Chain A
Amino acid sequence: MISFSQVCKRYPGGHEALRNLSFTVEQGEMAFITGPTGAGKSTLLKLVAAIEKPSSGSVVVSGQNVGKLRRSAIPFLRRNLGLIFQDHKLLYDRSVLENVLLPLHIAGFPRAESLKRARAALDKVKLLGLEKASPISLSGGEQQRLCVARAIVNRPAIVLADEPTGNLDADYAGEIMEMFKSFNQVGVTLLIATHDEQMIARYGGKTLHLIHGELHA
């Protein structure tokens, strides 16, 4: 499903974020990327979503060489990915429901169908009662759940999460992880960047340990 082979990423200015990285995540796997801050976890996720291009090597997602995608093809790759950001990236001038509707609207779903799907996604993250609220009035945990709802409303085959539990206390973090587990059980491939070793120990799965942009077994 996701396959890196000999990927290097060098940012302009010379900083080398990833070095000679090769790994594969199979369909239906729940894999973790771990390592200290600055080890290249976020960069790895950005390469999968074509937010960054590899300096060398190839990144293949669902059979497509992401690094070589034409600019006009990138949006269609991203519609098959669910992205969960550390800083949520919510739109604070729109309601909770509108935030979840955005990916569907972008993908061109009819309004009625979109509403049905958005409410189902909000139900899944237990925010259905708050659909008219502004995201700014939500707690950190609720905002993160909203971000999850937006990521899965398109029913993507792959979900990428960057520190999804980073700023949350243990209870909220557990809630989010249980959600991920339930997505995984219905066949979604997940790639989760985290530095929470306990969480990885609890949920198991493949773990990619990065130090200074290199893979450690």
Chain B
Amino acid sequence: MTNWLGQHRHALGLVLGRFARAPFSSLLAMLVIGVALSLPLGLYALVGNIKALAGNVKLEPQITLFLTPGASADDARQIESQLKELKAVRQFRFIPRDRALQELLQNTGLTDVAAGLDRNPLPDAFVIEPQSANPVELESLRSELAKLPKVDFVQLDALWAKRLNAMVSLGRDIVLILAVMLGSALMVITGNTVRLQILSQRDEIEISTLIGATDAFIRRPFLYHGLLQGLGGGLAAWLIVSLGLQLLNAGIGDLAKLYAAQFLIRPINPRDILSLLAFSSALGWLGAFLAVGRHLQKMETKT
């Protein structure tokens, strides 16, 4: 067991020594991997933020029911009692036309315009929260509501929320595709640096094999090389994306201030960073494993 640990320590030391002897090219390789990984990582961070932002808004669909302009308070009460009967309606509230106008004026500052109106152009309305978010059931509820007397127009307000959701999920798909593509790039990059490493250590590999080295012994330092290079690439990606978000936040902060809003892109959370590092290390290891396997086989057929 101590021997086994000793051999691992030795392999690790060997690799760290190689990195130290060629710091520039080692860092460059990690940086290349970092840049490749920062694209999906950065996009992931942005999509995560949009999702969080969308989460603040109610994603449950709403139905707004507008009464005909001539409807009286009695008509409204009648509709109210009918709404209470409907099982598909979870909750509703009545917005009388006067209050609707008031709110509109308050929220938009269009008081001057209202002064020019001789009568309130807005109808009475009900805002309804349905029981289910299922599009088919929503549609059937909508058509049922449209049949009620004195109802002018029924509007489903879930559309924009659906669009946002679809966009977020599209973003996530893009992140996934990019991650797969650039993850394979990481493997190829690592495989290539390990291949060069193997070529420069041909003699050592050959001699070690001749004096009794197992395949595992030969492989070990190269696997560590791939693992550490992947890890370094992951760290570089984290650094790049953090820096990028910081820069974006400076701009976004100013922009948000102009709209009197507070919004900043949140940094990547620690759990995601850990999975990024695990992912990049594992891919580096795998790239090295494939490269070493291929080369050991090639050397075998030569001797």
Complex: how many Å from CA A49 to CA B212? 10
B7 lies within 8 A of chain A by Cβ: yes
B208-A110 in contact (CB<8A)? no
A 82-116 to B, binary, CB cutoff 8 A, 1 in contact else 0: 01010001110000000000110111111100000
A110-B212 in contact (CB<8A)? no
B6 lies within 8 A of chain A by Cβ: yes
Min distance, Cβ A73 to any Cβ of chain B, angstroms: 10
B210-A106 in contact (CB<8A)? no
Complex: how many Å from CA A75 to CA B210? 8
Complex: how many Å from CA A206 to CA B303? 29
Min distance, Cβ B293 to any Cβ of chain A, angstroms: 13
A75-B6 in contact (CB<8A)? no
A78-B208 in contact (CB<8A)? no
B 187-214 to A, binary, CB cutoff 8 A, 1 in contact else 0: 0000000000000000110111111111
Q: When A and B form their complex, what is the total count of cross-chain residue pairs whose Cβ atoms lie within 8 Å?
A: 53
Min distance, Cβ A120 to any Cβ of chain B, angstroms: 18
Complex: how many Å from CA A154 to CA B3? 16
Complex: how many Å from CA A71 to CA B206? 15
B207-A105 in contact (CB<8A)? no
Contact for B6 among A77, A103, A108, CB less than 8 A? A108
B203-A78 in contact (CB<8A)? no
Min distance, Cβ A93 to any Cβ of chain B, angstroms: 8
Known: A89-B206, A89-B207. A106 touches B212 (CB 8 A): yes
A150-B211 in contact (CB<8A)? yes
Chain A residue at minimal CB-CB distance from B215: A72
Complex: how many Å from CA A49 to CA B214? 14
A79-B212 in contact (CB<8A)? yes
Residues of A within 8 A of B3 (CB): 108-110
Residues of A within 8 A of B206 (CB): 89
B204-A103 in contact (CB<8A)? no
Min distance, Cβ B107 to any Cβ of chain A, angstroms: 77
Known: A91-B204, A106-B217, A108-B7. A75 touches B212 (CB 8 A): yes
Min distance, Cβ A130 to any Cβ of chain B, angstroms: 20
Residues of B within 8 A of A91 (CB): 203-204, 207
Min distance, Cβ B238 to any Cβ of chain A, angstroms: 35
Min distance, Cβ A114 to any Cβ of chain B, angstroms: 10
A51 lies within 8 A of chain B by Cβ: yes
Min distance, Cβ B198 to any Cβ of chain A, angstroms: 15
B84 lies within 8 A of chain A by Cβ: no
B211-A102 in contact (CB<8A)? yes
Min distance, Cβ A117 to any Cβ of chain B, angstroms: 14
Chain B residue at minimal CB-CB distance from A150: B211
Complex: how many Å from CA A111 to CA B3? 9
B6-A110 in contact (CB<8A)? yes
Residues of A within 8 A of B203 (CB): 89, 91
Q: A51-B303, A103-B211, A106-B212 are in contact. List 9 more A-B contacts (CB 8 A).
A: A49-B210, A72-B215, A83-B210, A83-B211, A85-B210, A91-B203, A91-B204, A105-B10, A150-B211
Q: Closest 6 A-B residue pairs measured CB to CB?
A: A79-B212, A78-B212, A108-B3, A75-B214, A106-B213, A75-B212
Supply 13 A–B pairs (Cβ within 8 Å), ascending by A: A51-B303, A72-B214, A75-B214, A76-B212, A83-B211, A89-B207, A89-B210, A91-B203, A106-B211, A106-B217, A108-B4, A109-B3, A110-B2
Q: Give A residues with C-beta under 8 Å from B.
A: 49, 51, 72, 75-79, 83, 85, 89-91, 102-103, 105-111, 150, 154
